[in-house]
Structure 1
Amino acid sequence: MIHPSILRKQRLLVVGFLVLIAATIVVSLGLGYSSVSYNRIIPTLLGNGTFKEEFILLSIRLPRILITLLAGMGLAISGAILQGLTRNDLADPGIIGINAGAGIGIAIFFLFVPIEVTSFVFVLPVVAFAGAVMTALLIYFFSYRRGVGLEPARLILVGIGFSMALSGAMIVVISSAERQKVDFIARWLAGNIWGADWPFIVAILPWLAVLIPFTLFKANRLNILSMNEPVSIGLGVSLEKERFSLLLIAVALAAASVSVTGGIAFIGLMAPHLAKALVGPRAQLYLPVSLLIGGWLLLFADTIGRNLAEPEGIAAGIMTALIGAPYFIYLLMKK
């Protein structure tokens, strides 16, 4: 049973982060190369703005804000699952190679497969998922030992090795491609929130709408898997089955998120860790908080990045790396 004071604290944090997200959205809507007066935001959203105001807010900024918010949430839950499965606070879909697998899948598809404009947006998450799943299966295979099962620490190390190997493979793949296509892949690798349009929201939303509630439903299983193996087995949990199903969910969330934002790292590392520090290690408590922290972190990073160096801005992936890399080093030294 969860103590009422902890539940009350979690609810206050959820409300607090919702308010923080709403405030960041308002600030983000007003800031940019073409600024919009804050007293014009609500009238414009209600359909009473000028053509310029409606174009800036409804066609450019609002879709980008929603994409970063959704992708940050997906990456945060993916990171939370991976940290629970590996029992390691350093796990992150960007660090252990899942994002790199999605990236190599997207690069091969974009460079060598004929693209139909009408279906490209919706095919992209599927392609990213296929690349990420193949990578995750290889990582799982090399991390598995007969008679022992999946070794969490080994999974982290193998994943880091695959991430480095796939980064090298990406360079080989794009080295002979057309300049225009190489530019797109380079922007994707930098995490340059390229899918900032309404169809991309439609493409990513079903993945998150199904997989995030399913993860919340599996919260108790994640709690058990976070314990040592004899305890998990004693509680009647099928370790390999649960690990594999949750690993697939983490892969799908990460792949769907990065397919429209590009290579974003460290969100899945920081958000769950901060949530656990605030409300404790029980998945029922920290998963909803982690969800909101992840969405806010990526939204905040993108808002700062696109206004630091106008008009192009700094890629959100670079901004999250600037924030996340020191935090990763801190965790590494602490552990």
Structure 2
Amino acid sequence: MIHPAAIKKQRIILTVSLLVTVITVIVSMGTGHASLSFDRLIQTIIGQGTVKEELILFSIRLPRILITLLAGMALALSGSILQGITKNDLADPGIIGINSGAGVAIAVFFLFFPVEVGLFAYFVPLAGFIGAIITSIFIYLFAYSKHNGLQPINVVLIGIGFSMALSGAMIVIISAAERTKVDFIVKWLSGNIWGADWPFIWALLPWLVLFIPFTLYKANRLNLLGLNDSLAIGVGVSIEKERIILLFSAVALAAAAVSVTGGISFIGLMAPHIAKTLVGPRHQLFLPVAILIGGWLLLFADTIGRNLLESPIPAGIMVSIIGAPYFIYLLLKK
């Protein structure tokens, strides 16, 4: 049973997080190289803006804002699941190679399996998911020990090894590709929010609609998986079955997110840690907070990157600037 004071604290933090996210959305809608002043936002939203203002808001900025929010939420939830099933606070879909697996699959799909433009937004997440699930299966097999089960430190070390190997494979793949197609892949690798259009939102949204309620439903299982394996088995948890199901969920969320945002790391590392610091380690409490923080982090990074310099900085680079020192801090601490 969760103490009422903890629930009250969580609700306050959720309210504050939601308020900060709304403020960041408003700032993001009103800032950029194209002119759209804040005093014109309301008129444009209700359909009384000029053609140029409506084009900027509804065709350029709003889709990008929604994509960054949804992708950040998906990456935060994916990282929370991975940390839970591996019992390792350093687990993150970008760090342990899942994003790299999705990236290689997307590059192969983009270069060798051309599809109609209208279907591209829907096939890219599927290609990313296939690459990510294959990568995660190999990581799981190499990290699993018949006598000791899944070793958390092995997951991170083997995942980093896979990430490096897949990065090398990506270089080999793009070295023989056409220049125009290489440009797209390079933007993907840097974490440029390339899928900033409405079809990509409809392609990403179902994954969150499916897996957010499912993960919240499995929150208590995640709590039990964080215990000693013998203790978890003693209370009736089928450890391997639950880990595989939850790993599948984490991979699906990460693959769907990076397929439209590019290679973004550290969101899945930082958001769960910040949420745990605020409301504690119980998954029922920190998962909703982590989801909101993840969405805000990516939106904040993209907003800063778009407006900091004359030439936009990809969101993935901005997140890495923040996340790399945080990762080193956690590595030294843990």
Which bracket does the TM-score occupy, shorter chain normalised?
A: over 0.9
Specify the alignment match of 2:330 in structure 1: 331
* Separation in 2, partners of 1:298, 1:236: 38
SS of residue paired to 2:138 = helix
* Separation in 2, partners of 1:144, 1:168: 25
* Separation in 2, partners of 1:220, 1:308: 42
The alpha carbon displacement at 1:115 in A equals: 2.3
The alpha carbon displacement at 1:147 in A equals: 2.9
| Contact 2:101/2:128 (8 A) holds in 1 | yes
Residues 117-156 of structure 1: pairs in structure 2 closer than 5 A: 117-156=117-156
Amino acid aligned to 1:305: G
RMSD: 0.7
* Separation in 1, partners of 2:114, 2:199: 20
The alpha carbon displacement at 1:157 in A equals: 1.1
Specify the alignment match of 2:5 in structure 1: 5
The alpha carbon displacement at 1:87 in A equals: 1.0
Which of 262-271 and 147-156 deviates more? 147-156
Specify the alignment match of 2:110 in structure 1: 110
Specify the alignment match of 2:313 in structure 1: 314
* Separation in 2, partners of 1:271, 1:57: 28
* Separation in 1, partners of 2:185, 2:114: 16
Number of paired residues? 334
* Separation in 1, partners of 2:328, 2:186: 26
* Separation in 2, partners of 1:159, 1:44: 47
The alpha carbon displacement at 1:265 in A equals: 0.3
Residues 217-256 of structure 1: pairs in structure 2 closer than 5 A: 217-256=217-256
Specify the alignment match of 2:72 in structure 1: 72
Specify the alignment match of 1:204 in structure 2: 204
SS of residue paired to 2:49 = coil
The alpha carbon displacement at 1:325 in A equals: 0.3
SS of residue paired to 1:263 = coil
Specify the alignment match of 1:291 in structure 2: 291
| Contact 2:86/2:150 (8 A) holds in 1 | no
* Separation in 1, partners of 2:152, 2:89: 11
* Separation in 2, partners of 1:242, 1:207: 19
SS of residue paired to 1:231 = helix
The alpha carbon displacement at 1:181 in A equals: 0.4
Structure 1 position 261 matched with structure 2 position 271: no
Amino acid aligned to 1:330: Y
SS of residue paired to 1:193 = coil
Amino acid aligned to 1:232: A
Structure 1, unaligned runs of 5 or more: none
| Contact 2:96/2:160 (8 A) holds in 1 | yes
The alpha carbon displacement at 1:309 in A equals: 2.1
Amino acid aligned to 2:106: I
Q: Deviations over 1:61-91 (max 9, x none)?
A: 0000000000000000000001111111111
* Separation in 1, partners of 2:235, 2:123: 41
* Separation in 2, partners of 1:232, 1:163: 31
Specify the alignment match of 1:174 in structure 2: 174
4+ aligned runs moved over 6 Å, structure 1:
none
Quick one: percent identity of the two aligned structures?
67
Amino acid aligned to 2:65: I
Amino acid aligned to 2:294: G
Q: Deviations over 1:162-212 (max 9, x none)?
A: 001000100001001000000000000000000001110011001111011
Amino acid aligned to 1:44: T
Specify the alignment match of 1:56 in structure 2: 56
TM-score by structure 1 length? 0.99
TM-score by structure 2 length? 0.99
Structure 1 position 84 matched with structure 2 position 91: no
| Contact 2:268/2:294 (8 A) holds in 1 | yes
* Separation in 2, partners of 1:275, 1:60: 31
Structure 2, unaligned runs of 5 or more: none
Q: Deviations over 1:238-283 (max 9, x none)?
A: 0000000000000000000000000000000000000000000000
* Separation in 2, partners of 1:213, 1:36: 37
SS of residue paired to 1:91 = coil
